[in-house]
């Protein structure tokens, strides 16, 4: 009798939650579980905007994966996945090959620039601890350089996209900039923060008045919004935008693209029918033709039902964790030879932070803003750690104390 090989790729919210739950559900003798992740640590992807703005250090939003995995039941291998051979039931990594009977693909997201010329070369993104730290570093260096250069563009910050990431980043930025300007003896009025959004409104998923609250909060602190203004190119000077059919150059030496994400590029290379790194899953979270391969998190397009009206759920940490939990339960059923269950999303709401003490959102069906939203955000951030790593990890890494 050979134990079935369960292989989990990725230790983000989806993958790590799968492992954390699975190791509780099954015994050592039930399966041979291996978790593969590029880094030895898990990072809180939902805190990256804080690292980017410098309100936290990147280490604050990470913890060692060894703190979560039960070494008796799970083998953790720090390695980078380079290819998935779905039919051969084999995964290639930079540390060798791994075979599987059951595979969980949870490889997460990357930046997507939609082929906008110059974006890859001239803009920074906020997609992992390294890129987030680089954003902070660039701003620090340009502000430090200003005294010498006298170049106003050193103090000009351009943010592309007013989605969740853009708004949350701006919220942190207006909190951290006063201190940075003080440190470098810069007149705060000289700092220019511009956010460019292609759509005619921001944060359309919230009621209009909440979106307006966020906009006014940021405008009051010096952010200028250019709404209904697509970015069409990026160059060494900054963004090129389109306004009333004419192109205009926006200048700034701090250029941050927060306007697009996609699932891992490994998805296109490994599976058919992948769009922007996401593959449509079946309701039990496996993919068509492969009832031994689960795909979850930002590489999955999990539909909110069946039929022509079905839409994919958004890619959020909340949903990724629920997908992970569900996958663990389905793997247990599979090992027992039982029928898999369909996933049902339990939407607990969404909060968009505006720095550490303000925000907007919908929580448990209620609209919230201000301090209450900021508090809920702390609860949400801490709960994610609690759900994956338990109370002691939530105490040491969470945001409630
Ligand atoms: P997004 O895709 O949600 O938002 C990108 C924004 O950029 C959009 O408003 C879009 O109109 C704009 N945009 C796109 N192309 C543009 C262009 N050429 N010029 C100007 N603007 C352009 O990306 P995101 O904010 O990084 O979010 C990604 C996912 O993560 C979403 O599913 C989101 O819900 C989730 N998320 C959630 C939270 C939260 O719940 N607090 C926080 C961050 C991210």
Q: How far is the CA of 160 from the centre of ligand 1 (A)?
A: 10
pLDDT single digits (tens) 281-334 = 999 999 999 999 999 999 999 999 888 899 999 999 999 999 999 999 999 999
- Comparing CA positions, the residue from 238, 257, 242 lying closest to residue 198 is 242
Q: How far is the CA of 202 from the centre of ligand 1 (A)?
A: 10
Task: DSSP for 8-19, please give it.
Answer: EE--SHHHHHHH
pLDDT single digits (tens) 194-210 = 999 999 988 988 999 99
Decide if 36 contacts 64 (C-beta within 8 A): no
Alpha-carbon distance of 60 to 381, in angstroms, equals 12
Q: Report the pLDDT averaged over residues 20-48.
A: 97
The class (CATH top level) of 4-111+262-347 is alpha beta
Within 10 Å of residue 382's Cβ, how many Cβ atoms?
Answer: 18
Substitution candidate for ligand 1 out of 159, 164, 234, 319 with most atoms within 8 A of CB: 164
DSSP E strand boundaries for 275-338: 279-280, 286-287, 290-295, 300-301
Phi, psi of 322 (to 5 degrees): -65, -35
Band (pLDDT 50/70/90 cuts) for residue 1 is: low
121 belongs to the catalytic site? no
Structural domain boundaries of the chain? 4-111+262-347, 119-259, 348-401
Q: How far is the CA of 166 from the centre of ligand 1 (A)?
A: 7
Q: Report the pLDDT averaged over residues 143-159.
A: 97
**CA distances (Å), origin 24, targets 11, 19, 27, 272:** 17, 9, 8, 33
Per-residue pLDDT, 297: 98
Alpha-carbon distance of 82 to 89, in angstroms, equals 14
User: Which residue lies with its CA nearest to atom 15 of ligand 1?
Assistant: 259
Ligand 1: atom nearest CA of 203 is: 9
Task: Give, as one character, the DSSP assignment of residue 306.
Answer: S
pLDDT single digits (tens) 73-103 = 999 999 999 999 999 999 999 999 999 999 9
Alpha-carbon distance of 223 to 73, in angstroms, equals 50
Q: Mean pLDDT score of the chain, rounded to an integer? A: 97
Enumerate residues lining ligand 1, CB below 6 A.
46, 116, 160-166, 168, 196-199, 230-231, 258-261, 314-316, 350-352
Tell the CATH topology of 119-259. FAD/NAD(P)-binding domain (3.50.50)
Which token pair is 204?
Answer: 């359309």
Per-residue pLDDT, 79: 98
pLDDT single digits (tens) 351-401 = 999 999 999 999 989 999 999 999 999 999 999 999 999 999 999 999 998
Q: How far is the CA of 74 from the centre of ligand 1 (A)?
A: 35
């Amino acid at each position: 009798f050979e134990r079935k090989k369960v292989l989990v790729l990725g230790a983000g919210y989806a993958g790590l939650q799968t492992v954390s739950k699975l190791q509780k559900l099954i015994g050592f003798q039930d399966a041979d579980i291996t978790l593969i992740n590029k880094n030895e640590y898990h990072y809180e992807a939902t805190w990256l905007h804080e690292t980017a703005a410098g309100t936290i250090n990147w280490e604050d939003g990470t913890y060692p994966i060894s703190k979560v995995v039960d070494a008796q039941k799970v083998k953790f291998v720090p390695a980078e996945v380079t290819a998935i051979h779905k039919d051969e039931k084999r995964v290639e990594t930079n540390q060798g090959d791994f075979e599987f009977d059951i595979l969980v693909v949870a490889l997460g997201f990357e930046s997507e620039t939609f082929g906008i010329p110059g974006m890859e070369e001239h803009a920074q993104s906020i997609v992992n601890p390294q890129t987030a730290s680089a954003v902070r570093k660039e701003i620090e260096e340009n502000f430090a350089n200003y005294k010498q250069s006298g170049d106003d563009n050193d103090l000009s910050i351009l943010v592309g996209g007013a989605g969740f990431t853009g708004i949350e980043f701006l919220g942190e930025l207006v909190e951290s900039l006063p201190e940075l300007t003080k440190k470098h003896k810069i007149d705060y009025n000289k700092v220019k923060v511009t956010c460019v959004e292609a759509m005619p409104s921001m944060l359309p998923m919230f009621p209009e008045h909440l979106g307006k609250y966020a906009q006014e909060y940021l405008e009051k602190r010096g952010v200028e919004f250019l709404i209904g203004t697509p970015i069409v190119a990026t160059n060494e000077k900054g963004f090129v935008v389109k306004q009333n059919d004419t192109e205009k150059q926006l200048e700034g030496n701090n250029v941050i693209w927060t306007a697009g994400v996609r699932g891992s590029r490994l998805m296109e290379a490994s599976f058919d029918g992948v769009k922007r790194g996401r593959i449509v899953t079946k309701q039990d979270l496996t993919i068509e033709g492969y009832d031994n391969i689960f795909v979850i998190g930002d590489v999955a397009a999990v539909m909110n039902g069946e039929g022509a009206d079905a839409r994919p759920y958004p890619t959020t940490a909340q949903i990724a964790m629920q997908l992970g939990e569900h996958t663990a339960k389905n793997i247990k059923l599979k090992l027992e030879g039982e029928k898999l269950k369909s996933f049902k999303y339990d939407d607990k709401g969404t909060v968009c932070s505006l720095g550490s003490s303000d925000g907007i959102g919908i929580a448990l069906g209620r609209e919230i803003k201000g301090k209450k939203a900021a508090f809920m955000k702390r609860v949400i951030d801490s709960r994610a750690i609690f759900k994956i790593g338990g109370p002691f990890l939530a105490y040491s890494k969470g945001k409630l104390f």
